Amino acid sequence: MIGRVDLRRFVNTSGLRLARYKRLARLVDLRPTDRIVDIGCGPGVRTIAAYNHTNTIVGVDLLPPEKVKLTQANVQYVQGDATNLSVFRDDQFDVAFSIGLLEHIRPEGQLIAAIREMQRVAPRYIALVPHRYAFIEPHFQMPFFSAWPGGLKSAAIRRFKLGSQSRSPDGAWQRINWLSGADWLKLFDDPTARAYGHWYGPLLQYTIIVGGRGLSDGKR
Ligand SMILES: C[S@@+](CC[C@H](N)C(=O)[O-])C[C@H]1O[C@@H](n2cnc3c(N)ncnc32)[C@H](O)[C@@H]1O
């Protein structure tokens, strides 16, 4: 490794995150009494809970509880795997969020399991994933990185520490599901689901997938 590139050092992302949360909440028609499950909530600083101090929220992640700093009264943490949420009943929640989770779950069978669990535990759901051809790919922070030939990706990752990605000592790196909105909709397999683009500042694009019972197109 001879260099490190991390564009987040140059951008104040808190306003972008807040605007993104507000859009997600509107698209999924979030109501004040909704019980939320935030699947793949992360360690705490960027969860849904960072923007919502009133709804009841259960955060779920693979992380051990000691790594998660969720101390708000409205939030509870449950360590668990998104592909098997059997600790929760069908429709135990009103809304399921997953922000930056589904692009990491592989292979496809596991990814579909995670999507079905999300659809099972809440009647309304919303997921945010990187755009297939984001101008700046959010994990590696290189222009159109998802479209680079595989060998070029591996060579760049071997030589540089790109973005937030960590590699194992043998140079292996975590593959990302870079899918189009249409491909995501096929995986969600739900006639109510819709995919939307989301600009996160001028350079990063994401895809939002929202669906479920009780959502009208007029609200989205
Ligand atoms: C990029 S972080 C996103 C965190 C947070 N949602 C956010 O918006 O910043 C992805 C999170 O998904 C979690 N994760 C990955 N695979 C998972 C799985 N199978 N089940 C539950 N969580 C998982 C990781 O531990 C990590 O905290």
Note the pLDDT tens digit of each residue in 123-167: 999 999 999 988 888 888 889 999 999 888 888 888 888 887 766
**Measuring from each residue's beta carbon to the nearest atom of ligand 1, which residues come in under 6 Å?**
40-42, 46-47, 61-63, 81-83, 99-101, 104-105
Task: Report the alpha-carbon distance of residue 155 to residue 168 in Å, rounded.
Answer: 14
Q: 5 pLDDT exceeds 60?
A: no
Mutate to test the pocket of ligand 1, among 62, 101, 200 (most ligand atoms within 8 A of CB): 101
Q: What's the CATH number for 12-134+176-213?
A: 3.40.50.150
The pTM for the full model equals 0.90
Q: What is the distance of C-alpha 42 from the center of its chain?
A: 10
Which residue owns the Cα nearest ligand 1 atom 11?
A: 40
Among the listed residues 159, 164, 211, the one whose alpha carbon sits nearest the alpha carbon of residue 185: 211
* Mean of pLDDT over the chain: 90
The residue extents of the domains of the chain are: 12-134+176-213
